[in-house]
């Protein structure tokens, strides 16, 4: 039986021919990365034996061996990052496998026009991520003190009998929490829409919990952008200005990149 083919990414054949190919070990740490030209597109791959890397064995390792998973996911990420610094690359997801060269070629050829459009989109552009964090307690205090509706409700409660005040204050706390979330979303979305003016595309992603981030402040926004290389500096300058202007009110900004264009190139 043929070896399995592990696919890291797809690059224009012209670039694969003209640019030097890096020395790098494959997924098993033994074999080397190599190229498979498929017309105008070249696949960057490595070979894996079917005994140790069958679909069943990989699923089992992913589900039951966290150390193996972390090691291999890191290998995939670092390899794609290295390739992205040399080539315009459509990066593939972790553990994209084909049963042989013929099945890989068929998949690439059947998606050739879509991938040509993707290369046209990402060439000369960079993917950047922005995460926005907020000190909820600090912002909650500002919302509580500067919202006319909340102030009016607080005044109304102060006129009630003591027994009723307790329950009405509980309701007020829920109103403040709701206003806090709306304020966080309003501010974050306003920033996102402003930054999109300097990008080709901008998508909103799901925010991460504190357990994932390991931070005390909360992630209020998570977005990813495709930016022309000529606009990156301007984009980052605006983020730095937001950080400077909003730090004292509990906001923090974390921009990272450039990354391989995972979010703006799709090939499964």
Judge if 111 and 231 occupy the same domain.
Answer: no
C-beta of residue 22 within 8 angstroms of C-beta of residue 101: no
**pLDDT of amino acid 139:** 80
Tell me the mean pLDDT per 10 residues along the chain, length 268: 88 96 93 96 95 86 92 96 96 93 94 93 96 88 69 65 65 74 92 96 94 91 96 97 93 96 82
Judge if 211 and 234 occupy the same domain.
Answer: yes
C-beta of residue 41 within 8 angstroms of C-beta of residue 115: yes
Judge if 160 and 67 occupy the same domain.
Answer: no
Q: Decide which of 85, 120, 155 is a domain's last residue.
A: 120
**pLDDT of amino acid 152:** 65
Distance CA 183, CA 140 (A): 9
Judge if 193 and 148 occupy the same domain.
Answer: yes
Angle (CA) 66 70 75, round 5°: 150
Judge if 55 and 156 occupy the same domain.
Answer: no
Q: Decide which of 94, 120, 146 is a domain's last residue.
A: 120
Cα 164 versus chain centre, distance: 48
Question: Which residue range(s) make up the domain with 236?
Answer: 126-264
The number of domains in the chain is 2
Judge if 141 and 252 occupy the same domain.
Answer: yes
pTM of the model: 0.84
**pLDDT of amino acid 162:** 67
Judge if 103 and 134 occupy the same domain.
Answer: no
Judge if 143 and 178 occupy the same domain.
Answer: yes
Distance CA 162, CA 92 (A): 63
Q: Decide which of 87, 102, 120 is a domain's last residue.
A: 120
**pLDDT of amino acid 163:** 60
């Amino acid at each position: 039986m043929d070896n399995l083919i592990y696919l890291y990414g797809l690059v224009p054949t012209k670039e694969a021919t003209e640019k030097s190919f890096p020395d790098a070990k494959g997924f098993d740490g033994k074999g080397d990365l190599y190229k498979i030209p498929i017309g105008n597109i070249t696949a960057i791959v490595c070979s894996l034996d079917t005994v140790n890397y069958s679909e069943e064995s990989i699923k089992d390792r992913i589900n039951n061996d966290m150390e193996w998973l972390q090691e291999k996911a890191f290998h995939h990420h670092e390899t794609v990052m290295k390739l992205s610094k040399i080539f315009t690359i459509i990066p593939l997801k972790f553990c994209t496998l084909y049963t042989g060269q013929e099945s890989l070629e068929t998949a690439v050829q059947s998606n050739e026009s879509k991938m040509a459009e993707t290369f046209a989109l990402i060439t000369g552009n960079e993917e950047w991520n922005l995460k926005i964090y907020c000190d909820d307690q600090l912002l909650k205090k500002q919302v509580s003190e500067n919202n006319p509706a909340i102030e009016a409700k607080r005044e109304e409660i102060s006129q009630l009998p003591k027994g009723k005040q307790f329950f009405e204050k509980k309701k007020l706390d829920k109103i403040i929490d709701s206003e806090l979330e709306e304020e966080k979303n309003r501010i974050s979305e306003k920033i996102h829409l402003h930054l999109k003016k300097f990008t080709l595309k901008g998508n909103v992603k799901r925010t991460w919990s504190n357990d994932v981030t390991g931070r005390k402040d909360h992630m209020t926004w998570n977005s990813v952008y495709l930016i022309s290389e000529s606009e990156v500096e301007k984009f980052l300058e605006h983020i730095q200005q937001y950080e400077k202007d909003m730090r004292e009110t509990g906001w923090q900004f974390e921009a990272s990149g450039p990354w391989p264009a995972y979010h703006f190139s799709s090939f499964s």
